[in-house]
């Protein structure tokens, strides 16, 4: 059993009712949003009851019960039933509970804890070489995904008695993909992409001569939903609802205006530094978080004025390089997808609207920019360059939002003969 925290048990014998109340109060003190707090509480419910149903409030808090539950979740992660990120979130929640139980208080910290990643010794060197071979061409996030997927593949091989790259067969690859599709249906395409790169590397090094057409191993094409975007009227209403006389309002207004006029991802907006804005030439220079590519965008008057107003009149007066900061101590940078979504939900709630089940999120602001440009007959190459995409393939989905021009692609039924009298 892992030991997370030591010290006097200041909360020994506390009931779950009192513990949950204290947990919620401590999370609020650290300025966690209500969605995050509720997510943590639901996780504790699952640990105690196996579901999101309420537990016996008079039950005494038990570290052992949490640890036993976490052990089961770790086994699920090793078999692929749950993702690594999901397990780490569960582990982090247990850490919070134990910290509160042993110290009587919580401190804000990062989401992920380091833990040992098992890798079969016989494949460890191969994986290191593979990851090094792709390190210059892919983003850190993508490399992390290849690291996880390749590790799962190599662990699968070891479990099935394969300890050498030369012993891998087409059948063993097909079996892995079949097993993967049962556990993680949405990730099989990512597994295939990883395998294509892995075997291209292995063949180039002479570690194997196995030639496979991975396109033949792909499952049926995954349905890609048309995700909605905001209309310009909706954006105007959202901006009008923001109280720009407050510090929070100035920050939120600047972030949304910047997103609408540049199409930047939330991760890029939150990663902007004071030095990234060239006020003399009215441009923004940054390196995209997702792709690692450099991007230079014009800084329009609206975005520039809103950012300047926030920096001069709303931003905490602290020595931080990041532009957008939290408005409560310790005034750290904003981060995470939930920050933008929570911001939008807060201002839409003032308008009596709800984002739930609409498919719209903060990222929909970026989709909106691409859609508006498409509707304005902007060439795909220009849209791709403006949004920081390497190719036009990634932005073809924006064409589906141009309803008026899409109607022109519809074919009539005039040339189809009517064979039944009732249809004539």
Q: Which of 164, 190, 217 is the last residue of a domain?
A: 217
In a domain, 109, yes or no: no
Distance from the first to the final alpha carbon of the chain = 75
Evaluate whether residue 411 is within a structural domain: no
Q: Do residue 175 and residue 281 come from a single domain? A: no
Question: Are 237 and 367 contained in the same domain?
Answer: yes
Residue 275 placed within a domain = yes
Lookup result for tokens 């990120």? 85
Query: Does residue 390 belong to any structural domain of this protein?
Result: yes
SS3 277: strand
Which residues does the chain have with pLDDT short of 50?
A: 1-9, 51-53, 111-116
Domain identity same for 36 and 154: no
Residue 159 and residue 304 in one domain: no
Of 187, 217, 247, which residue is a domain's last?
217
Are residues 252 and 293 located together in one domain of the fold? yes
Instruction: Answer yes or no: do 275 and 378 share one domain.
Output: yes
Judgement on whether residues 371 and 279 belong to the same structural domain of the protein: yes
Domain annotation covers residue 295: yes
Same domain? For 241 and 390 the reply is yes
Per-chain mean pLDDT for the chain: 81
Are 49 and 93 part of one and the same domain?
yes
pLDDT score, position 111: 46
- Helix axis angle, 337-350 to 247-262, nearest 10°: 110
Q: State residue 354's pLDDT score.
A: 75
Asked whether residue 400 is assigned to any structural domain, the reply reads: yes
Mind spelling out the 3-state secondary structure of the chain? Answer: CCCCCCCCCCCCCCEHHHHHHHHHHHHHHCCCCHHHHHHHHHHHHHHHHCCCCCCCCCCECCHHHHHHHHHHHHHHHHCCCCCHHHHHHHHHHHHHHHHHHHHCCCCCCCCCCCCCCCCCHHHHHHHHHHHHHHCCCCCHHHHHHHHHHHHHHHHHHHHCCCCCHHHCCHHHHHHHHHHHHHHCHHHHHHHHHHHHHHHHHHHHHCCCCCCCCHHHHCCCCCCCCCCCCCCHHHHHHHHHCCCCCCHHHHHHHHHHHHHHHHCCCHHHHHCCEHHHEECCCCEEEEECCCCCCEEEEECCHHHHHHHHHHHHHCCCCCCCCECCECCCCCCCECCCHHHHHHHHHHHHHHCCCCCCCCCCCCHHHHHHHHHHHHHCCCCHHHHHHHHCCCCCHHHHHHHHHCHHHHHCCCCCCCCCCCCCHHHC
Residue 163's pLDDT is what?
Answer: 92
Q: How many domains, in total, are found in the chain?
A: 3
Domain interval for residue 166: 137-217
CATH number at residue 205: 1.10.150
Q: Structure pTM?
A: 0.56
Per-residue model confidence as pLDDT tens digits over 299-333: 999 999 999 999 999 999 999 999 999 888 778 88
pLDDT value of residue 4: 34
Q: What is the pLDDT of residue 330?
A: 76
DSSP alpha helices (H): ranges in 351-397?
363-375, 380-387
Q: Are 73 and 96 found together in one domain?
A: yes
Residue 331 and residue 399 in one domain? yes
**6, part of any domain:** no
Residue 30 structure tokens:
């650290």
Does any domain span residue 3? Answer: no
């Amino acid at each position: 059993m892992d030991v997370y925290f030591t010290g006097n048990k200041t909360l020994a014998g506390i009931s779950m009712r009192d513990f949950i109340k204290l947990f919620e109060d401590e999370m609020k003190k650290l300025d966690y949003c209500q969605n995050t707090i509720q997510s943590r509480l639901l996780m504790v419910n699952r640990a105690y009851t196996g579901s999101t149903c309420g537990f016996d409030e008079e039950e005494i808090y038990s570290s052992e019960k949490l640890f036993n539950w976490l052990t089961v979740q770790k086994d699920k992660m090793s078999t692929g039933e749950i993702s690594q990120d999901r397990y780490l979130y569960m582990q982090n929640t247990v850490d919070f509970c134990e910290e509160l139980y042993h110290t009587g208080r919580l401190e804000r910290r990062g989401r992920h804890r380091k833990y040992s990643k098992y890798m079969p010794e016989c494949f460890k060197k191969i994986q290191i070489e593979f990851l090094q071979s792709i390190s210059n061409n892919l983003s850190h996030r993508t490399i992390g995904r290849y690291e996880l997927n390749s590790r799962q593949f190599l662990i699968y091989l070891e479990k099935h008695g394969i300890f050498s790259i030369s012993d891998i067969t087409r059948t063993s690859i097909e079996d892995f993909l079949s097993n993967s599709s049962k556990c993680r249906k949405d990730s099989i395409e990512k597994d295939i992409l990883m395998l294509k790169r892995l075997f291209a590397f292995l063949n180039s090094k002479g570690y194997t001569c196995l030639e496979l057409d991975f396109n033949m191993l792909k499952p049926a094409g995954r349905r890609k939903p048309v995700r909605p975007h905001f209309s310009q009227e909706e954006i105007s209403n959202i901006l009008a609802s923001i109280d720009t006389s407050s510090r929070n309002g100035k920050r939120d207004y600047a972030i949304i205006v910047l997103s609408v006029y540049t199409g930047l991802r939330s991760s890029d907006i939150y990663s902007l530094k004071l030095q990234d804005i060239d006020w003399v030439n009215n441009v923004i220079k940054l390196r995209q978080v997702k792709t690692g590519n450099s991007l230079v965008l014009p800084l329009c008057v609206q975005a520039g004025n809103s950012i300047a107003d926030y920096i001069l009149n709303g931003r905490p007066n602290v020595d931080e390089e990041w532009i957008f900061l939290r408005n409560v101590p310790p005034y750290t940078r904003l981060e995470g997808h939930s920050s933008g979504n929570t911001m939008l939900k807060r201002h839409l709630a003032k308008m009596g609207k709800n984002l739930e089940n609409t498919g719209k999120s903060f990222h929909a602001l970026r989709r909106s920019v691409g859609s508006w440009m498409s509707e304005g007959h902007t060439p795909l190459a220009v849209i791709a360059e403006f949004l920081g995409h390497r190719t036009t393939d990634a932005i073809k989905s924006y064409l589906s939002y141009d309803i008026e021009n899409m109607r022109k692609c519809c074919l009539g039924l005039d040339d189809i003969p009517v064979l039944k009298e009732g249809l004539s």
